[in-house]
Copies of this chain bind each other. A is one copy, B any other.
Amino acid sequence: MTTLDDRTITTDLADIGDFTASLRQEHDDLFEAFWAHPFLRELRAGTLSREATLHYVGQDHHYLSAYLRCYGLGMAKSPDRPWMRHFVDSSLFLLEDESHPHHVMCESFGVQYEAVQHDRLAPSAQAYIDHMMECGHDSLGVLMFALLPCPWTYIWAGNRYLAQHDNPADNKFEGWWQFYGSPDCNDLLANLLQRCEALAQEAGPAERARMARAFELSCHHEIRFWQLAYTRETWGDLPRSILAG
């Protein structure tokens, strides 16, 4: 059993590679904005509204399907079988385990998971997905840095929450936090950080610049995803407001 101290290791910048660590430091403001967003603040306090929670679940399920497509692009660019195995294992994890935190959210409000599915992505979720897919048509390294902020922000936030709260805390979303702060998730993140750094080390300056940009934009997209959930964003919002004058 991992202790909390072990668990924080992966987010200790001293233990990750130079390129990845410097990106993390450069965008610490984005990680802090992620943490400070009202959606996450209310998820910590257990006060997040039913509407925002379920909008999030519906969008995130759809988003994870698209994330699987990015794993496919990663497989297609894999230089060897261990990389292919990585993407197959990651796909299985996503297909089989990552619905757990969604179920926690649905159960908090006594709703069936199947009842909250959305049939299309909101603008900010679609933009995030299109960004990652585009990076998946660049190099494996650019793709990996586009994919990294999703697990990194969530697992970093999970660890931070667990370090600041009773274990378990009295929070209807406690299972969500326990999942992202779990040893399994920390191992998964440590593995990704190593893979990303290895790719950065063998990349030239032009590719590194694209990796850095991919990472930065995905950090922004993570924050924007909270915003879309919190505001229950839809495509119709803007045209309706214009036509209403």
Contact = CB atoms under 8 A, between A and B. Distances in A.
A238 to B, nearest CB: 6
Given A84-B65, A133-B134, A243 B95 contact: no
Interface string A66-85: 00111111111111110011
Contacts of A242: 33, 36-38, 223
A224 B238 contact: yes
Interface string A16-42: 000000000000011011001110000
B206 A220 contact: no
Question: Which 6 residue pairs across A and B have the least CB separation, nearest first?
Answer: A72-B75, A127-B127, A72-B76, A130-B130, A33-B239, A204-B204
A33 B238 CA distance: 9
A205 to B, nearest CB: 5
Contacts of A217: 126, 235
A75 to B, nearest CB: 3
A133 to B, nearest CB: 5
Nearest to A206: B202
A227 interface: yes
A243 B34 CA distance: 9
Nearest to A131: B130
A132 to B, nearest CB: 9
27 contacts: A29-B239, A33-B238, A33-B239, A36-B245, A37-B242, A65-B84, A68-B78, A68-B84, A69-B75, A70-B76, A72-B72, A72-B77, A72-B84, A73-B73, A75-B91, A84-B91, A88-B91, A88-B92, A126-B127, A127-B127, A127-B131, A130-B131, A130-B134, A133-B134, A204-B204, A223-B239, A223-B242
Query: Counting chain B CB atoms within 10 Å of each CB, which of A88, A95, A123 scores highest?
Result: A88
Contacts of A87: 72
A123 B69 CA distance: 22
A131 B139 contact: no
A183 interface: no
A207 to B, nearest CB: 6
Nearest to A239: B33
A162 interface: no
A139 B37 CA distance: 37
Contacts of A220: 123, 235, 238-239
